[in-house]
Structure 1
Amino acid sequence: MSPELIMNLDMFPQQLESLQGRLANLYQDANTTVQPEANLLLAALKELDTASKILEIATQKLFEQTQKLGNVQARLREEYKRYQDLFEFIPNAYLVTDTQGKIQSANCATATLFNLQQQFLVNKPLACFIAVEERQAFRSQLNQMHSSECDYMQEWILRIQPRDCEPFEAAMTVAPIRDAKGKLTGLRWMVRDIHHVSYQPLLSLER
């Protein structure tokens, strides 16, 4: 919610109170009038007074809902920050791509592993960091993710080609991201360098 809208909402109760005061004065003046039109004016003022009271109740409810919304937004910001902190400090390279393998976000470990600053990873195809001789196999496996309706993780062994460095063997764990209707909307990846360590495959890849 914009600051301008919040400011207008803050001023609205005062404006409503002023309106009700003016209505009370008009009602008093009309009540002392002896002209035939006085009855019609009184009826109109009563209806307007009723409408203003209904509006006052609605305004109070709106303020309560606005306050609740503000609290929810604050909690969401806190949760998002926690997620970002976890995402950044995961020791393994972790990244999210769209369904075509274009990088949407990547953590610090990914930048180190791929030898490229984080801001330059975004929007790059993940295939750019696969060794040239294995890119076709990578794309074939990626296409199979599109045609498959499975929701379990898969682990691929491929050679990673960092920027301006020698390629190395890595274990790439990939999991699908699906919307409420089951449509594939993205992919989550974890990449581990297994060249210098004793490789242990994940014990269970199914969710």
Structure 2
Amino acid sequence: MPPELIMNLDMFAQQLKSVQGRLANLYQDANTPVQPETDLLLAFLKELDTVSKRLEIVTEKLFEQTQKLGDVQARLREEYKRYQDLLEFIPNAYLVSDTQGKIQSANYATAALFNVQQRFLVNKPLACFIPVEERHAFRCQLNQIYECECDYIQEWILRIQPRDCEPFEAAMTVALIRDVKGKLTGLRWMVRDMAHIWQQPQSALLI
């Protein structure tokens, strides 16, 4: 929540508390013969008018902040949708996993490369698509990431085992995802079939 909105909410709460205190005092004064009844009524109406105007101002500010927050959220959703669309249509397999290698999201190219429907990739361990005899080495490489203090992109060459297909050699690019505190929260992967890379013209490889 934006600091301005929090500040306005605090102000709103203080105004309500102030209203309650003043009304309690006025009711108490109304039960004593110190002031004439008319004077008490005028004082009461004046207090209500002042507090009402203050609360109206706070309410307007809260409404403005809520609108701004809604606009920001809409822009973020729009940017996220654009980002997802870009990833969906890139020719290379791109996926995001947690720190244990469990897939959180994957584009269409990943589904085609792994021969699995896109919706079935989520929550599957990436190790499921590594040949059984090579999974231990893959997990060892994955564990080494935790010991890495640098955020440089790593390049791995290993075999991928698609569903019901022959394994193939792949180039995997691995990048670390950290939160604002620097804690490792996930991994970004790009997977390319080495056979397709070797088949590209030399000029294309240099681009």
Mapping 1:34-183, distance limit 5 Å: 36-183=36-183
Superposed displacement of residue 196, structure 1 = 4.0
- TM-score for both structures, normalised by structure 2: 0.77
TM-score w.r.t. the length of structure 1 is: 0.77
Corresponding residue pairs, total: 168
Which 4+ runs in 1 deviate beyond 2 A?
none
For residues 69-100 of structure 1, the C-alpha deviation after alignment (integer angstroms, 9 at most, x for no partner) is: 22212211210110110110111000000000
- For 1:156 and 1:91, how far apart are their aligned partners in 2? 19
The CA deviation at 1:138 is: 0.5
Aligned to 2:32: none
2:195 matched to which residue of 1?
A: 195
Q: What's the C-alpha RMSD, in Å, of the aligned pairs?
A: 1.8
Q: Which residue of 1 aligns with 2:184?
A: 184
Alignment deviations for residues 121-177 of structure 1 (CA, whole Å, 9 cap, x no partner): 000000000111211111000000012111011011000000000000000110110
In the alignment, the residues of structure 2 paired with residue 179 and residue 72 of structure 1 have an alpha-carbon distance, to the nearest angstrom, of 21
Counterpart residue identity of residue 62, structure 2: L
**1:197, 1:42 → 2: CA distance?**
86
- Seq. identity, %: 83
- Stretches of structure 2 that go unaligned for 5 or more consecutive residues are 1-34
Q: Mind listing any 5+ residue stretches in structure 1 that lack a counterpart?
A: 1-34
